Protein backbone atom coordinates (compact mmCIF):
# COMPACT_ATOMS: atom_id res chain seq x y z
CA UNK A 1 0.00 0.00 0.00
CA UNK A 2 1.26 3.45 -0.85
CA UNK A 3 0.36 6.37 1.40
CA UNK A 4 0.58 9.87 -0.05
CA UNK A 5 0.48 12.88 2.27
CA UNK A 6 -0.74 16.31 1.26
CA UNK A 7 -0.79 19.72 2.92
CA UNK A 8 -3.30 22.22 1.56
CA UNK A 9 -3.34 25.91 2.28
CA UNK A 10 -5.24 28.83 0.84
CA UNK A 11 -3.93 32.33 0.24
CA UNK A 12 -6.38 35.11 0.91
CA UNK A 13 -6.99 37.10 -2.26
CA UNK A 14 -8.55 40.09 -0.51
CA UNK A 15 -8.22 43.39 -2.32
CA UNK A 16 -7.39 46.55 -0.47
CA UNK A 17 -10.68 48.07 0.68
CA UNK A 18 -9.49 51.31 2.27
CA UNK A 19 -6.66 53.74 1.92
CA UNK A 20 -3.60 52.85 3.97
CA UNK A 21 -3.69 55.29 6.88
CA UNK A 22 -0.20 54.61 8.19
CA UNK A 23 1.88 57.48 6.89
CA UNK A 24 5.62 57.19 6.40
CA UNK A 25 7.63 59.67 8.39
CA UNK A 26 9.62 62.55 6.91
CA UNK A 27 12.64 63.91 8.76
CA UNK A 28 14.64 67.02 7.92
CA UNK A 29 14.49 67.47 4.14
CA UNK A 30 14.52 63.79 3.19
CA UNK A 31 11.26 61.95 2.66
CA UNK A 32 11.41 58.33 3.74
CA UNK A 33 9.87 55.92 1.26
CA UNK A 34 9.40 52.17 1.14
CA UNK A 35 12.55 50.54 -0.30
CA UNK A 36 12.65 49.69 -3.96
CA UNK A 37 13.49 46.08 -3.18
CA UNK A 38 10.21 45.55 -1.32
CA UNK A 39 8.15 42.88 -3.08
CA UNK A 40 4.41 43.01 -3.85
CA UNK A 41 2.26 42.89 -0.74
CA UNK A 42 -0.69 40.58 -0.07
CA UNK A 43 -2.70 42.69 2.36
CA UNK A 44 -4.91 41.51 5.18
CA UNK A 45 -6.82 44.77 5.41
CA UNK A 46 -9.58 44.43 7.99
CA UNK A 47 -9.79 47.84 9.67
CA UNK A 48 -12.01 46.50 12.46
CA UNK A 49 -11.18 42.92 13.29
CA UNK A 50 -14.22 41.29 14.87
CA UNK A 51 -12.21 38.11 15.45
CA UNK A 52 -9.99 39.86 18.01
CA UNK A 53 -11.31 39.15 21.50
CA UNK A 54 -9.86 38.86 24.99
CA UNK A 55 -10.19 35.65 26.97
CA UNK A 56 -9.13 35.85 30.61
CA UNK A 57 -6.39 33.37 31.47
CA UNK A 58 -5.86 34.23 35.12
CA UNK A 59 -4.24 36.59 37.61
CA UNK A 60 -0.50 37.13 37.87
CA UNK A 61 1.08 38.42 41.07
CA UNK A 62 2.37 41.61 39.42
CA UNK A 63 3.47 43.19 36.18
CA UNK A 64 7.13 42.18 36.60
CA UNK A 65 6.58 38.80 34.90
CA UNK A 66 5.88 40.74 31.68
CA UNK A 67 8.22 43.66 32.31
CA UNK A 68 11.04 42.66 29.98
CA UNK A 69 10.41 42.37 26.27
CA UNK A 70 12.57 39.27 25.69
CA UNK A 71 10.67 37.00 28.09
CA UNK A 72 8.85 34.00 26.65
CA UNK A 73 5.60 33.97 28.57
CA UNK A 74 3.51 32.03 26.04
CA UNK A 75 4.44 28.88 24.10
CA UNK A 76 2.91 26.54 21.51
CA UNK A 77 3.65 22.87 20.84
CA UNK A 78 2.45 21.63 17.41
CA UNK A 79 2.72 17.90 18.25
CA UNK A 80 0.11 18.24 20.99
CA UNK A 81 -1.61 21.34 19.54
CA UNK A 82 -1.09 22.84 22.98
CA UNK A 83 -0.71 26.46 24.16
CA UNK A 84 0.76 27.26 27.57
CA UNK A 85 1.29 30.45 29.59
CA UNK A 86 3.98 30.88 32.25
CA UNK A 87 2.96 33.07 35.21
CA UNK A 88 3.79 34.05 38.77
CA UNK A 89 0.58 33.21 40.61
CA UNK A 90 -1.37 35.79 42.60
CA UNK A 91 -1.77 34.14 46.04
CA UNK A 92 -5.06 35.96 46.68
CA UNK A 93 -6.57 34.35 43.57
CA UNK A 94 -5.34 30.75 43.71
CA UNK A 95 -5.85 28.31 46.55
CA UNK A 96 -2.79 26.40 45.29
CA UNK A 97 -0.40 28.99 46.77
CA UNK A 98 -0.25 31.19 49.85
CA UNK A 99 3.04 33.04 49.23
CA UNK A 100 4.34 35.43 46.60
CA UNK A 101 6.62 34.24 43.81
CA UNK A 102 5.40 30.73 42.89
CA UNK A 103 5.61 29.97 39.15
CA UNK A 104 2.98 27.89 37.37
CA UNK A 105 1.89 27.09 33.84
CA UNK A 106 -1.67 26.97 32.61
CA UNK A 107 -2.48 25.39 29.26
CA UNK A 108 -5.19 25.32 26.61
CA UNK A 109 -6.15 22.46 24.31
CA UNK A 110 -8.68 24.49 22.27
CA UNK A 111 -6.54 27.36 20.95
CA UNK A 112 -7.03 29.60 23.95
CA UNK A 113 -10.79 29.38 24.45
CA UNK A 114 -10.49 27.62 27.84
CA UNK A 115 -7.58 27.20 30.26
CA UNK A 116 -6.52 24.57 32.77
CA UNK A 117 -5.91 24.99 36.46
CA UNK A 118 -2.32 26.07 37.22
CA UNK A 119 0.40 23.42 37.36
CA UNK A 120 3.20 24.46 39.76
CA UNK A 121 6.64 24.37 38.08
CA UNK A 122 8.71 26.33 40.64
CA UNK A 123 7.75 26.84 44.29
CA UNK A 124 11.27 27.54 45.63
CA UNK A 125 10.92 31.00 47.19
CA UNK A 126 12.98 30.65 50.37
CA UNK A 127 15.67 33.03 49.04
CA UNK A 128 13.21 35.34 47.31
CA UNK A 129 10.12 35.27 45.05
CA UNK A 130 10.45 34.42 41.38
CA UNK A 131 10.42 37.66 39.44
CA UNK A 132 11.52 37.80 35.77
CA UNK A 133 10.54 34.52 34.14
CA UNK A 134 10.37 32.66 30.84
CA UNK A 135 8.44 29.46 30.10
CA UNK A 136 8.39 26.67 27.53
CA UNK A 137 6.65 23.38 26.72
CA UNK A 138 8.84 20.29 26.57
CA UNK A 139 7.29 17.26 24.88
CA UNK A 140 9.32 14.02 25.25
CA UNK A 141 10.02 12.13 22.05
CA UNK A 142 6.99 10.11 20.94
CA UNK A 143 4.68 11.44 23.65
CA UNK A 144 1.03 12.04 22.71
CA UNK A 145 -0.42 12.62 26.20
CA UNK A 146 -0.67 16.15 27.58
CA UNK A 147 -0.15 14.96 31.17
CA UNK A 148 3.25 13.58 30.14
CA UNK A 149 4.43 16.87 28.59
CA UNK A 150 6.41 19.28 30.79
CA UNK A 151 6.20 22.92 31.66
CA UNK A 152 9.66 24.45 32.08
CA UNK A 153 10.67 27.66 33.87
CA UNK A 154 13.79 29.81 33.55
CA UNK A 155 14.35 33.10 35.34
CA UNK A 156 15.60 34.90 38.40
CA UNK A 157 14.40 35.78 41.89
CA UNK A 158 14.03 39.07 43.73
CA UNK A 159 16.46 38.21 46.55
CA UNK A 160 15.36 38.65 50.14
CA UNK A 161 18.87 39.96 50.83
CA UNK A 162 22.03 40.50 48.84
CA UNK A 163 22.42 40.87 45.11
CA UNK A 164 20.65 39.57 41.99
CA UNK A 165 22.99 36.64 41.52
CA UNK A 166 20.49 33.74 41.47
CA UNK A 167 19.46 31.76 38.40
CA UNK A 168 16.21 29.88 38.89
CA UNK A 169 15.00 26.80 37.00
CA UNK A 170 11.95 24.63 37.46
CA UNK A 171 9.86 21.98 35.74
CA UNK A 172 6.91 19.65 36.21
CA UNK A 173 4.86 17.45 33.94
CA UNK A 174 1.32 18.66 33.37
CA UNK A 175 0.10 15.66 35.32
CA UNK A 176 1.79 17.26 38.36
CA UNK A 177 4.02 14.28 39.26
CA UNK A 178 7.61 15.54 38.81
CA UNK A 179 8.05 18.99 40.34
CA UNK A 180 11.77 19.88 40.30
CA UNK A 181 13.47 23.19 41.10
CA UNK A 182 17.05 24.41 41.05
CA UNK A 183 18.50 27.69 42.30
CA UNK A 184 22.06 28.44 41.17
CA UNK A 185 24.03 31.25 42.84
CA UNK A 186 27.09 32.93 41.37
CA UNK A 187 28.50 35.13 44.14
CA UNK A 188 31.20 36.40 41.79
CA UNK A 189 28.72 38.18 39.55
CA UNK A 190 26.00 40.22 41.19
CA UNK A 191 23.88 40.59 38.03
CA UNK A 192 24.25 37.07 36.61
CA UNK A 193 20.75 36.03 37.60
CA UNK A 194 19.05 39.28 36.65
CA UNK A 195 19.64 38.61 32.95
CA UNK A 196 18.70 34.91 33.01
CA UNK A 197 15.59 35.04 30.83
CA UNK A 198 16.54 34.56 27.18
CA UNK A 199 15.60 32.10 24.46
CA UNK A 200 13.96 29.26 26.41
CA UNK A 201 12.75 26.56 23.98
CA UNK A 202 12.81 22.84 23.24
CA UNK A 203 15.31 21.43 20.74
CA UNK A 204 15.23 17.62 20.44
CA UNK A 205 15.67 16.06 23.87
CA UNK A 206 17.00 19.31 25.35
CA UNK A 207 15.69 22.59 26.65
CA UNK A 208 17.95 25.46 25.60
CA UNK A 209 18.17 28.97 26.95
CA UNK A 210 20.68 31.70 27.64
CA UNK A 211 21.90 34.15 30.26
CA UNK A 212 23.85 37.33 29.89
CA UNK A 213 26.90 37.62 32.16
CA UNK A 214 28.05 41.22 32.71
CA UNK A 215 31.15 42.39 34.53
CA UNK A 216 31.32 45.56 36.58
CA UNK A 217 28.81 47.75 38.36
CA UNK A 218 25.16 48.11 37.49
CA UNK A 219 24.68 50.32 34.42
CA UNK A 220 28.42 50.61 33.74
CA UNK A 221 29.45 47.10 32.75
CA UNK A 222 33.00 46.88 31.46
CA UNK A 223 32.45 43.60 29.60
CA UNK A 224 29.66 41.21 28.62
CA UNK A 225 29.49 37.49 27.86
CA UNK A 226 26.53 35.43 26.73
CA UNK A 227 26.04 32.04 28.35
CA UNK A 228 24.25 29.31 26.36
CA UNK A 229 22.52 26.93 28.79
CA UNK A 230 21.38 23.38 28.08
CA UNK A 231 18.86 21.45 30.13
CA UNK A 232 19.12 17.76 29.26
CA UNK A 233 16.00 15.74 29.94
CA UNK A 234 16.61 12.76 32.22
CA UNK A 235 13.12 11.27 32.19
CA UNK A 236 11.59 13.24 35.05
CA UNK A 237 13.37 16.63 35.03
CA UNK A 238 16.39 18.44 33.56
CA UNK A 239 20.12 18.51 34.20
CA UNK A 240 21.26 22.11 33.64
CA UNK A 241 24.68 22.74 32.08
CA UNK A 242 26.07 26.29 32.45
CA UNK A 243 29.64 25.71 31.33
CA UNK A 244 29.74 27.68 28.06
CA UNK A 245 30.51 31.38 27.59
CA UNK A 246 30.65 33.53 24.46
CA UNK A 247 32.59 36.75 24.90
CA UNK A 248 31.38 39.86 23.09
CA UNK A 249 34.15 42.40 22.54
CA UNK A 250 32.07 45.57 22.66
CA UNK A 251 33.43 49.06 22.19
CA UNK A 252 33.70 51.27 25.27
CA UNK A 253 31.25 54.13 25.56
CA UNK A 254 33.49 57.11 26.33
CA UNK A 255 30.51 59.24 27.34
CA UNK A 256 28.89 56.93 29.89
CA UNK A 257 31.69 54.44 30.50
CA UNK A 258 31.58 50.67 30.12
CA UNK A 259 30.76 48.33 27.21
CA UNK A 260 28.25 49.70 24.72
CA UNK A 261 25.03 47.69 24.38
CA UNK A 262 21.45 48.91 24.20
CA UNK A 263 20.11 46.97 27.18
CA UNK A 264 22.16 48.94 29.68
CA UNK A 265 19.70 51.85 29.56
CA UNK A 266 16.12 52.09 30.69
CA UNK A 267 13.65 51.84 27.87
CA UNK A 268 15.94 49.66 25.72
CA UNK A 269 15.52 46.22 27.23
CA UNK A 270 15.01 44.29 23.99
CA UNK A 271 18.58 43.81 22.86
CA UNK A 272 19.58 40.20 23.48
CA UNK A 273 18.10 36.93 22.25
CA UNK A 274 18.61 33.35 21.08
CA UNK A 275 16.78 31.53 18.25
CA UNK A 276 16.92 27.98 16.84
CA UNK A 277 15.89 26.48 13.52
CA UNK A 278 13.38 23.66 12.99
CA UNK A 279 16.09 20.97 13.08
CA UNK A 280 17.60 22.21 16.37
CA UNK A 281 21.12 22.28 14.91
CA UNK A 282 21.28 25.78 13.46
CA UNK A 283 20.98 28.59 15.95
CA UNK A 284 21.85 32.24 16.50
CA UNK A 285 22.70 34.43 19.49
CA UNK A 286 22.85 38.21 19.28
CA UNK A 287 23.14 41.38 21.29
CA UNK A 288 22.58 44.96 20.09
CA UNK A 289 25.77 46.97 20.48
CA UNK A 290 28.98 48.03 18.77
CA UNK A 291 31.78 45.53 18.23
CA UNK A 292 35.24 46.64 19.31
CA UNK A 293 36.89 45.01 16.30
CA UNK A 294 34.37 45.29 13.47
CA UNK A 295 31.44 47.68 13.55
CA UNK A 296 29.30 49.61 11.15
CA UNK A 297 26.58 50.88 13.50
CA UNK A 298 24.66 50.20 16.68
CA UNK A 299 23.54 46.83 15.41
CA UNK A 300 23.12 43.10 16.02
CA UNK A 301 26.37 41.41 17.08
CA UNK A 302 25.63 37.85 15.98
CA UNK A 303 27.05 34.38 16.69
CA UNK A 304 26.05 31.31 14.66
CA UNK A 305 26.10 27.55 15.29
CA UNK A 306 25.27 24.60 13.06
CA UNK A 307 26.06 21.84 15.56
CA UNK A 308 23.43 22.46 18.21
CA UNK A 309 25.57 24.93 20.15
CA UNK A 310 28.74 22.88 20.56
CA UNK A 311 30.64 25.66 18.75
CA UNK A 312 29.80 29.24 17.83
CA UNK A 313 31.22 31.52 15.10
CA UNK A 314 30.98 35.30 14.94
CA UNK A 315 29.00 36.71 11.99
CA UNK A 316 29.93 40.26 11.03
CA UNK A 317 26.79 42.06 9.87
CA UNK A 318 28.40 44.65 7.63
CA UNK A 319 26.15 47.63 6.84
CA UNK A 320 28.82 49.55 4.94
CA UNK A 321 29.07 47.52 1.73
CA UNK A 322 27.66 49.18 -1.40
CA UNK A 323 24.99 46.51 -1.70
CA UNK A 324 23.78 46.88 1.89
CA UNK A 325 23.96 50.68 1.72
CA UNK A 326 21.65 50.51 -1.29
CA UNK A 327 19.29 48.22 0.64
CA UNK A 328 19.00 50.55 3.64
CA UNK A 329 19.05 53.81 1.69
CA UNK A 330 15.23 54.22 1.56
CA UNK A 331 14.79 54.26 5.34
CA UNK A 332 18.15 55.18 6.92
CA UNK A 333 19.24 58.80 6.70
CA UNK A 334 22.80 59.71 5.75
CA UNK A 335 24.90 61.11 8.59
CA UNK A 336 27.21 64.08 8.21
CA UNK A 337 30.13 61.85 7.24
CA UNK A 338 28.22 60.34 4.30
CA UNK A 339 27.36 56.97 5.83
CA UNK A 340 23.97 55.39 6.29
CA UNK A 341 24.73 54.02 9.74
CA UNK A 342 22.03 52.04 11.57
CA UNK A 343 21.07 52.53 15.19
CA UNK A 344 18.98 49.60 16.49
CA UNK A 345 16.70 50.12 19.48
CA UNK A 346 14.88 46.79 19.74
CA UNK A 347 15.07 43.38 18.08
CA UNK A 348 13.41 39.97 17.83
CA UNK A 349 14.08 36.99 15.60
CA UNK A 350 13.42 33.41 14.51
CA UNK A 351 15.23 30.95 12.22
CA UNK A 352 13.55 30.11 8.92
CA UNK A 353 13.37 26.89 6.87
CA UNK A 354 16.66 27.75 5.12
CA UNK A 355 18.58 28.07 8.39
CA UNK A 356 18.69 31.87 8.16
CA UNK A 357 18.02 34.28 10.99
CA UNK A 358 14.95 36.39 10.26
CA UNK A 359 15.73 39.32 12.52
CA UNK A 360 13.28 42.16 13.03
CA UNK A 361 14.69 45.44 14.26
CA UNK A 362 13.29 48.77 15.32
CA UNK A 363 16.01 50.91 13.81
CA UNK A 364 16.89 54.47 12.93
CA UNK A 365 20.06 56.16 11.73
CA UNK A 366 23.10 57.44 13.56
CA UNK A 367 23.83 61.11 13.21
CA UNK A 368 27.62 61.20 13.51
CA UNK A 369 30.75 59.47 12.22
CA UNK A 370 31.18 56.71 14.80
CA UNK A 371 34.13 55.26 12.86
CA UNK A 372 36.42 58.22 13.45
CA UNK A 373 34.66 59.54 16.55
CA UNK A 374 33.55 56.57 18.68
CA UNK A 375 32.61 58.88 21.56
CA UNK A 376 29.68 60.10 19.46
CA UNK A 377 27.83 56.78 19.59
CA UNK A 378 24.94 58.25 21.60
CA UNK A 379 24.09 60.93 19.03
CA UNK A 380 20.96 59.67 17.31
CA UNK A 381 18.40 61.77 15.51
CA UNK A 382 16.03 59.49 13.61
CA UNK A 383 14.30 57.78 16.51
CA UNK A 384 11.57 56.42 16.47
CA UNK A 385 12.67 55.09 13.07
CA UNK A 386 11.32 52.05 11.23
CA UNK A 387 10.80 48.33 11.70
CA UNK A 388 12.78 46.29 9.18
CA UNK A 389 13.18 42.59 8.41
CA UNK A 390 16.82 41.51 8.05
CA UNK A 391 17.76 38.07 6.72
CA UNK A 392 21.15 36.92 8.08
CA UNK A 393 23.13 33.72 7.61
CA UNK A 394 26.68 32.56 8.30
CA UNK A 395 27.93 34.85 5.51
CA UNK A 396 26.33 37.98 6.95
CA UNK A 397 23.42 40.21 6.00
CA UNK A 398 21.56 38.95 2.90
CA UNK A 399 18.55 41.23 2.54
CA UNK A 400 16.60 44.05 4.15
CA UNK A 401 12.83 44.57 3.78
CA UNK A 402 10.97 47.54 5.22
CA UNK A 403 8.05 46.51 7.47
CA UNK A 404 6.53 49.69 8.86
CA UNK A 405 7.36 53.15 10.21
CA UNK A 406 7.22 53.80 13.92
CA UNK A 407 5.25 56.86 14.93
CA UNK A 408 6.19 57.06 18.61
CA UNK A 409 9.10 56.82 21.02
CA UNK A 410 9.57 54.21 23.74
CA UNK A 411 7.82 55.10 26.98
CA UNK A 412 10.20 56.19 29.72
CA UNK A 413 9.54 56.19 33.43
CA UNK A 414 8.42 59.81 33.62
CA UNK A 415 5.94 59.36 30.78
CA UNK A 416 4.59 56.13 32.24
CA UNK A 417 4.03 57.65 35.66
CA UNK A 418 6.62 55.09 36.83
CA UNK A 419 4.04 52.35 36.30
CA UNK A 420 6.54 49.86 34.90
CA UNK A 421 9.63 51.03 36.74
CA UNK A 422 11.30 52.28 33.57
CA UNK A 423 8.54 52.33 30.98
CA UNK A 424 8.09 49.99 28.03
CA UNK A 425 9.03 49.54 24.41
CA UNK A 426 7.21 48.56 21.21
CA UNK A 427 7.26 44.92 22.31
CA UNK A 428 8.66 43.28 19.16
CA UNK A 429 7.99 39.52 19.11
CA UNK A 430 8.92 37.15 16.27
CA UNK A 431 7.20 33.86 15.40
CA UNK A 432 7.42 31.19 12.70
CA UNK A 433 5.64 28.10 11.43
CA UNK A 434 6.94 24.80 12.74
CA UNK A 435 8.81 24.17 9.48
CA UNK A 436 10.04 27.75 9.14
CA UNK A 437 8.22 28.35 5.83
CA UNK A 438 6.64 31.59 7.09
CA UNK A 439 7.80 34.16 9.65
CA UNK A 440 5.87 36.77 11.61
CA UNK A 441 6.42 39.88 13.69
CA UNK A 442 4.03 41.57 16.14
CA UNK A 443 4.52 44.88 17.89
CA UNK A 444 2.57 47.66 19.59
CA UNK A 445 2.18 51.23 18.38
CA UNK A 446 0.13 54.30 19.22
CA UNK A 447 -1.57 55.72 16.12
CA UNK A 448 -2.48 59.10 17.57
CA UNK A 449 -0.20 60.30 20.34
CA UNK A 450 -0.18 63.86 21.65
CA UNK A 451 3.00 63.28 23.63
CA UNK A 452 4.86 61.41 20.90
CA UNK A 453 5.26 58.30 23.08
CA UNK A 454 3.78 54.81 22.72
CA UNK A 455 1.35 55.44 25.56
CA UNK A 456 -1.86 54.06 23.99
CA UNK A 457 -0.78 51.00 22.02
CA UNK A 458 -2.64 48.90 19.50
CA UNK A 459 -1.35 45.52 18.36
CA UNK A 460 0.20 45.30 14.88
CA UNK A 461 1.57 42.44 12.80
CA UNK A 462 3.40 41.56 9.56
CA UNK A 463 4.34 38.28 7.88
CA UNK A 464 6.64 36.99 5.13
CA UNK A 465 6.68 33.68 3.29
CA UNK A 466 10.01 31.90 2.87
CA UNK A 467 9.48 30.78 -0.73
CA UNK A 468 9.75 32.14 -4.27
CA UNK A 469 9.13 35.91 -4.44
CA UNK A 470 8.89 36.12 -0.61
CA UNK A 471 5.18 37.09 -0.48
CA UNK A 472 4.26 39.55 2.28
CA UNK A 473 1.12 40.22 4.36
CA UNK A 474 0.75 43.43 6.34
CA UNK A 475 1.41 45.65 8.14
CA UNK A 476 -1.96 45.14 9.86
CA UNK A 477 -3.46 46.88 12.87
CA UNK A 478 -5.41 44.06 14.49
CA UNK A 479 -6.94 45.90 17.42
CA UNK A 480 -8.10 49.25 16.04
CA UNK A 481 -11.85 49.48 16.59
CA UNK A 482 -11.99 46.61 19.10
CA UNK A 483 -13.42 47.05 22.59
CA UNK A 484 -10.00 47.47 24.21
CA UNK A 485 -8.25 49.40 21.44
CA UNK A 486 -5.25 51.47 22.61
CA UNK A 487 -4.93 49.27 25.74
CA UNK A 488 -2.68 46.50 24.43
CA UNK A 489 0.11 46.83 26.97
CA UNK A 490 2.78 44.20 27.64
CA UNK A 491 2.01 41.72 24.88
CA UNK A 492 3.96 38.50 24.31
CA UNK A 493 3.76 36.12 21.31
CA UNK A 494 4.68 32.45 21.03
CA UNK A 495 7.65 31.38 18.90
CA UNK A 496 5.46 28.97 16.90
CA UNK A 497 2.08 29.53 15.24
CA UNK A 498 -0.79 27.15 14.51
CA UNK A 499 -3.15 26.70 11.56
CA UNK A 500 -6.71 27.52 12.58
CA UNK A 501 -10.02 26.19 11.24
CA UNK A 502 -10.17 28.91 8.58
CA UNK A 503 -6.85 27.79 7.14
CA UNK A 504 -4.94 30.84 8.40
CA UNK A 505 -1.89 30.96 10.65
CA UNK A 506 -2.80 32.23 14.12
CA UNK A 507 -0.18 33.61 16.51
CA UNK A 508 -0.77 32.61 20.16
CA UNK A 509 -0.76 36.02 21.85
CA UNK A 510 -0.74 37.02 25.51
CA UNK A 511 -1.55 40.46 26.88
CA UNK A 512 -1.41 41.74 30.44
CA UNK A 513 -3.13 44.57 32.33
CA UNK A 514 -6.75 45.57 31.92
CA UNK A 515 -7.64 49.29 31.71
CA UNK A 516 -8.80 49.33 35.34
CA UNK A 517 -5.42 47.98 36.50
CA UNK A 518 -3.17 50.43 34.71
CA UNK A 519 -3.10 52.97 37.52
CA UNK A 520 -2.13 50.37 40.12
CA UNK A 521 1.32 49.73 41.55
CA UNK A 522 3.25 47.62 39.05
CA UNK A 523 5.51 46.06 41.65
CA UNK A 524 2.88 44.68 44.02
CA UNK A 525 -0.63 44.70 42.55
CA UNK A 526 -1.91 41.70 40.55
CA UNK A 527 -2.70 41.96 36.85
CA UNK A 528 -5.10 40.12 34.55
CA UNK A 529 -3.57 37.98 31.82
CA UNK A 530 -5.58 37.76 28.61
CA UNK A 531 -5.37 35.51 25.59
CA UNK A 532 -5.96 37.50 22.38
CA UNK A 533 -7.71 35.67 19.54
CA UNK A 534 -7.70 36.63 15.88
CA UNK A 535 -4.02 37.57 15.45
CA UNK A 536 -3.77 35.68 12.17
CA UNK A 537 -2.38 35.79 8.64
CA UNK A 538 -3.05 33.95 5.38
CA UNK A 539 -0.73 31.10 4.42
CA UNK A 540 1.76 32.63 2.00
CA UNK A 541 3.70 29.53 0.90
CA UNK A 542 1.30 26.58 0.33
CA UNK A 543 3.00 23.23 -0.19
CA UNK A 544 3.15 22.39 -3.91
CA UNK A 545 1.67 18.98 -4.68
CA UNK A 546 4.08 18.52 -7.58
CA UNK A 547 6.88 18.35 -5.01
CA UNK A 548 5.28 15.27 -3.52
CA UNK A 549 5.39 13.09 -6.63
CA UNK A 550 6.98 9.81 -5.69
CA UNK A 551 9.99 8.24 -7.35
CA UNK A 552 7.88 5.15 -8.18
CA UNK A 553 5.96 7.19 -10.81
CA UNK A 554 2.87 8.17 -8.87
CA UNK A 555 1.75 11.66 -9.94
CA UNK A 556 -0.49 13.96 -7.91
CA UNK A 557 -2.16 17.00 -9.48
CA UNK A 558 -2.78 20.35 -7.83
CA UNK A 559 -6.12 20.28 -6.03
CA UNK A 560 -8.91 22.26 -7.67
CA UNK A 561 -10.35 24.62 -6.67
CA UNK A 562 -7.66 26.12 -4.46
CA UNK A 563 -8.43 27.77 -2.14
CA UNK A 564 -11.53 25.75 -1.33
CA UNK A 565 -14.28 25.60 1.26
CA UNK A 566 -15.71 22.16 2.04
CA UNK A 567 -14.56 20.12 -0.95
CA UNK A 568 -11.81 19.96 -3.54
CA UNK A 569 -10.72 17.51 -6.26
CA UNK A 570 -7.35 15.75 -6.50
CA UNK A 571 -6.18 13.72 -9.49
CA UNK A 572 -3.88 10.73 -8.80
CA UNK A 573 -2.14 8.92 -11.69
CA UNK A 574 -0.03 5.75 -11.58
CA UNK A 575 2.15 4.08 -14.20
CA UNK A 576 1.34 0.65 -12.76
CA UNK A 577 -1.53 -0.69 -10.64
CA UNK A 578 -1.19 0.40 -7.03
CA UNK A 579 -3.28 0.25 -3.87
CA UNK A 580 -3.41 3.92 -2.81
CA UNK A 581 -4.44 5.63 0.42
CA UNK A 582 -4.67 9.43 0.36
CA UNK A 583 -4.01 11.19 3.64
CA UNK A 584 -4.57 14.94 3.95
CA UNK A 585 -2.54 16.72 6.62
CA UNK A 586 -2.35 20.33 7.68
CA UNK A 587 0.80 22.41 7.64
CA UNK A 588 1.81 21.12 11.08
CA UNK A 589 1.77 17.53 9.82
CA UNK A 590 -1.42 16.61 11.67
CA UNK A 591 -3.71 14.22 9.79
CA UNK A 592 -7.15 15.76 9.17
CA UNK A 593 -8.65 13.42 6.55
CA UNK A 594 -7.91 9.95 5.12
CA UNK A 595 -9.53 8.07 2.25
CA UNK A 596 -8.79 4.65 0.82
CA UNK A 597 -8.70 5.26 -2.95
CA UNK A 598 -8.44 1.55 -3.73
CA UNK A 599 -6.56 0.18 -6.74
CA UNK A 600 -5.52 2.88 -9.19
CA UNK A 601 -4.19 1.91 -12.62
CA UNK A 602 -4.03 5.11 -14.64
CA UNK A 603 -5.82 8.22 -13.39
CA UNK A 604 -8.51 8.61 -10.74
CA UNK A 605 -10.08 11.71 -9.17
pLDDT tens per residue across span 435-488: 999 999 999 999 887 778 898 899 999 999 999 889 999 899 999 988 889 989
State which of 43-52, 79-88, 188-197 shows the largest mean pLDDT.
Answer: 79-88
Closest to 400 measured CA to CA, from 451, 327, 337: 327
In the chain, the largest separation of any two C-alpha atoms, in whole Å, equals 78
**pLDDT tens digit sequence for 80-96:** 999 999 999 999 999 98
Strands 472-477 and 536-537: unpaired
- Which residues, in sequence order, are CB contacts of 234 under 8 Å at separation 6+? none
For residue 449, which phi and psi values (nearest 5 degrees)? -130, 120
- Has residue 222 got a pLDDT over 90? no
Q: 138 pairs with which residues across the strands?
A: 150
Calculate the alpha carbon distances from 239 to 187, 207, 208 in Å: 21, 10, 11
Question: Which whole number is the average pLDDT over 95-103?
Answer: 94
What are residue 368's phi and psi, to 5 degrees? -120, 175
Q: Give kind and range of the element (H or E) at residue 343.
A: strand 342-351
Q: Is the dihedral of CA 124, 127, 130, 135 positive or negative?
A: negative
pLDDT in tens, 391-441: 999 999 999 999 999 999 888 766 766 566 667 889 999 999 999 999 999
Comparing 215 with 492, the larger pLDDT belongs to 492
Average pLDDT, the chain: 83
Pick the more confident residue, 367 or 119: 119
Q: Which residues fall within 8 angstroms of residue 305, CB to CB, at 6 or more apart?
A: 281, 282, 283, 284, 311, 312, 313
Residue 265's alpha-carbon distances to 213, 224, 260, in angstroms, are 16, 15, 10
Helix or strand or coil: residue 181?
A: strand
User: Measured between alpha carbons, how far is 494 from 368 in angstroms, rounded to an integer?
Assistant: 38
Amino acid sequence: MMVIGFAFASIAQNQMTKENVYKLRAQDVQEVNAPQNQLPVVLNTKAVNEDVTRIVIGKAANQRMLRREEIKAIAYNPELDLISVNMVLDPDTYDEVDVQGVVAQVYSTDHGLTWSSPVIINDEVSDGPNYYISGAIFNPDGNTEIDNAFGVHQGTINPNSGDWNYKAFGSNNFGGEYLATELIEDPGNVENGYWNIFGLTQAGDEVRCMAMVPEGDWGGYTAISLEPIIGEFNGTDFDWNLESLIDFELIEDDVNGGAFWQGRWQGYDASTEMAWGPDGNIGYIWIIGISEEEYSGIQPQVYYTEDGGDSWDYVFVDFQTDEIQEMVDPFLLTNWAGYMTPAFFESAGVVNANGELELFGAMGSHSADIFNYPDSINWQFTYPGDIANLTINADGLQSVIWVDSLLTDNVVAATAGNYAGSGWQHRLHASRTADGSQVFITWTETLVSVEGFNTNPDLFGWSKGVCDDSPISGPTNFTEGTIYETYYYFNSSADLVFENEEGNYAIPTLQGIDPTEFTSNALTDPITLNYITGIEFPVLCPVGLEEMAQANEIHVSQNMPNPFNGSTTISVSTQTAADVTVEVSNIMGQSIYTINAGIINGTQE
